Amino acid sequence: MQEIKKWIGELYAFGPRRAGSPIGHEVEDYVEEQFKLVGLGKVSRQSIPLTYWDCTGHSLQIDGKEISSSYIPFTEFTYQEGVSGEIVHLNPDDPAIHSLDLKRKVVLVDISFPMLKGKVLKLLALDLHDPDHSIPDGPIHEATWIRLNWELYEWAHKRGAIGFIGILKDQPGGHHSYYAPYGFKEGDRILDKPIPGLWASKFDRDQLLLHAREGKTASIVLTGSASPSQSANIIGQIKGESPETIIVASHHDSPFQNAVEDSSGMAVLFSLAKKLAKAGKPKRTIQFMATAGHFYGSIGTIEYIKQNRESLDDMVAEIHIEHIALEAKEENDQLVMTGQTEPAAIFTPYNRDCVRMVKDFLVAQDLIRTLVLGAHGPLGEFPPTDGGDFHLEGVPVFNYICNPVYLLVDDDDLSKIDWERLVPVRDGFYQLIEELNECDPAQLRKTQYPLKRALASIMTFLAQRKNKSRFRAD
């Protein structure tokens, strides 16, 4: 445990570990060194070119009065004087929205998050470990990585808008320091955000809506630079008797200083690698990977798959470990820690052997408040992890993640980690890897649970149909 804490503290001390940044490069060096120290062989880098987007200043003023805000990553920079225009509130439920004149205007949009509901997740779950029934049937919390109404950004730009203000009206605690350049599968379009954008807090919502009704002028300043850079996947392995491979991964970048995201996952990765390296030569090769650019459209995972497509058939499974977190709830507009572990999910194929192996280690390690969900679930066609793209390629995945409400804002510090859960998570995945070393890979690729699979597909279709509103097509 002390070594895991040390790794978390060292990663946390770096500060924001953004892809392509100077600190990001230092972290890559650190990860490479740790992979060697824990006993991995063939440690290497897979370099990935990208654009380093760096904000140096931003502000939101209305009639000369400053409104607290944060920048929306990868949106277009302004000159020092910024851009100014009349504020127009876009209400997607208002039929008159299509007749609004948006030329040279600054648009104001409510950004919402869907609510995770325990009853629905349990209905879809292939299994779970919740012996004290502490996962509620009702609302759990907002899925803060899914931005509803974000499509209005592009829609407004096409109609001549020159600036965008997103009100994070569902963000628990009212934070506006929200860093989530993903949310839809943006891929190489992550830099395709052609007007400057800022986030505003829900606490300023009423004032901003009043300014829009009064036709006030908003001024947005967003300065910085976008320059060629690179990031890298850091890869190491424990060579096995067979070329068949089990991949174990987490991502090394983060939006802020972040302890949970993803210092916690990386530290468990180091510890798991060390334990497996000491165990001797495995039957199958175990490849460890710290992926680049989770907050750059998961570019590390995507590029790895592109460059290793010919070996996908030899991949027995891909394991991804992200976020070992404590739960927080909003009370009286403040975030309050509940003292409980954050509900977690392990996304697996719709396969009985996969589910059984997961349930076995959840019970053995007493990893409570954990749902076993199908990799294709109601929130999308792949898990909300940096390993999800492996699922799209047909590789069986075991992707562990929790998504506490503070994860994407500048409020994720060392007090948010569930320290007592770190070793059990590591040991659970050690047990899983032992089983994967002995299993028949062909069995893992068989699709079962037809009713659960069909229900998840229907819910995905309905959710996408609702959220891909009339503002996307044109």
- Evaluate if residue 184 carries a pLDDT over 70: no
The 3-state DSSP composition of the chain as helix, strand, coil percent (nearest 5) reads: 35, 30, 35
CATH of 53-115+143-226, one of 3.40.50.300, 3.50.30.30, 1.10.260.40, 3.40.50.880: 3.50.30.30
- Mean pLDDT to the nearest integer, 7-28: 97
The tens digit of pLDDT for each residue in 1-12 reads 899 999 999 999
pLDDT at residue 260 greater than cutoff 70 = yes
In this prediction, residues 36-58 reach a mean pLDDT of 96
Give me the pLDDT at residue 473, please.
Answer: 41
Distance (Å, rounded) from C-alpha 402 to C-alpha 184? Answer: 19
Integer Cα distance of 198 and 214 in angstroms: 20
Check whether 351 has a pLDDT greater than 60. Answer: yes
**Other C-beta atoms lying within 10 Å of the C-beta of residue 181:** 19
Give percent above pLDDT 90 in the chain: 86
Mean pLDDT calculated for residue range 167-175:
95
Residue 181 has pLDDT above 90, yes or no: no
pLDDT at 183 over 50: no
Q: Which residue has the higher pLDDT, 471 or 367?
A: 367
Least reliable range by pLDDT among 84-93, 122-131, 247-256, 385-394: 385-394
pLDDT higher than threshold 60 for residue 470: no
Beta bridge partners of 246: 286, 317
Mean pLDDT of all residues in the chain?
93
3-state secondary structure of 334: strand
Domain ranges of the chain: 2-52+229-459, 53-115+143-226
Partner residues linked to 248 by β-bridges: 288, 319
Among 184-188, 302-306, 339-343, the least confident range: 184-188
- Residue from 44, 386, 33, 387 nearest 235 by CA: 44
8 Å CB contact between 236 and 35: yes
Under a CB-based contact definition with an 8 Å cutoff, are residues 48 and 294 in contact? no
pLDDT digits (tens, 9 = 90+) for 299-330: 999 999 999 999 999 999 999 999 999 999 99
End-to-end CA distance of the chain: 53
Q: Are 249 and 290 in contact (CB under 8 A)?
A: yes
Is residue 379 predicted with pLDDT exceeding 80? no
Alpha carbon distance 255, 240 (integer Å): 35
Give pLDDT tens digits for 402-428. Answer: 999 999 999 999 999 999 999 999 999
Using CA atoms of 177, 156, 18, 183 in order, give the dihedral in degrees to the nearest 10: 90
CA dihedral 409, 405, 249, 450 (to 10 degrees): -140
User: How many Å separate Cα 387 from the centre of its chain?
Assistant: 10
pLDDT of residue 64: 85
Whole-number pLDDT of residue 384: 85
pLDDT of 456 > 60? The answer is: yes
pLDDT at 468 over 70: no
Q: Please give the model's pTM, rounded to 2 decimal places.
A: 0.94
Amino acid code (one letter) for 306 = K
Residue 274 has pLDDT above 90, yes or no: yes
Long-range contacts of range 341-344, CB-CB < 8 Å, 24 or more positions apart? 341/368, 341/369, 341/402, 341/418, 341/421, 342/369, 342/402, 342/403, 342/404, 342/418, 343/135, 343/140, 343/369, 343/370, 343/371, 343/402, 344/369, 344/370, 344/371, 344/400, 344/401, 344/402
CATH number of the structural domain 2-52+229-459: 3.40.630.10
Average pLDDT over residues 40-69: 95
As a whole-number percent, the residues of the chain with pLDDT over 70 amount to 95
